[in-house]
Amino acid sequence: MSKADPTPEPAEAAKARKPRPQRGAMEALLRIVHGLQASGIAFGTLAVWGVTRDWPAPVAFAAVGVLLVATMPLLRHAWGWIVSLVAQVAVAALAFVEPVWGVVAAVLIGLWLYCFAKARGIERSRRAAGLDPRGAPGQ
């Protein structure tokens, strides 16, 4: 790199950036569930396309998959779990498009409920211990 080039080295740029805050249990677990659900919906889209070539069914599955992926960044907010809950309603609504999906949706939503309850418990116990519920180091 020449001295005339004002662009910083990659290591210098990394140091200059503000570090991302630690992810809380809620954000981490719900991101994992959204990823698993999006993967399941991708395979569901392929299965629905193979069973019925009607355009609304595969498009509905794909739209819910995109919704799950698009809502992942919103999970970092305190209200992110509400957006995630709306996405779960959309996952359940796919059972009206393909009835067999109801069984898969029940399992995926059950996983979401378990992770939601577990994350709330982890964050509650961190608060009770006087720690940051998001897992950031103490000040």
Residues 6+ positions from 60 with CB-CB distance below 8 Å: 94, 97
- Asked, for residue 14, whether it belongs to a domain, the answer is no
Please name the residues in contact with 80: beta carbons below 8 A apart, sequence gap of 6 or more. 26, 27, 30, 71, 74
How many domains would you assign to the chain? 1
Give the tens place of pLDDT for each residue, 81-128. Answer: 999 999 999 999 999 988 989 999 999 999 999 999 999 999 899 888
Q: What is the pLDDT of residues 48-70, one digit of tens each?
A: 888 877 778 888 999 999 999 99
DSSP state of 17: S
Helices (H), the chain: 10-16, 25-51, 56-71, 80-97, 101-128
Residue 91 lies in a domain: yes
pLDDT of 2-28, one tens digit each?
A: 556 666 566 666 567 766 667 788 999
> Which domain covers residue 57, as residue numbers?
24-126
Does residue 42 form part of some domain? yes
In a domain? residue 18: no
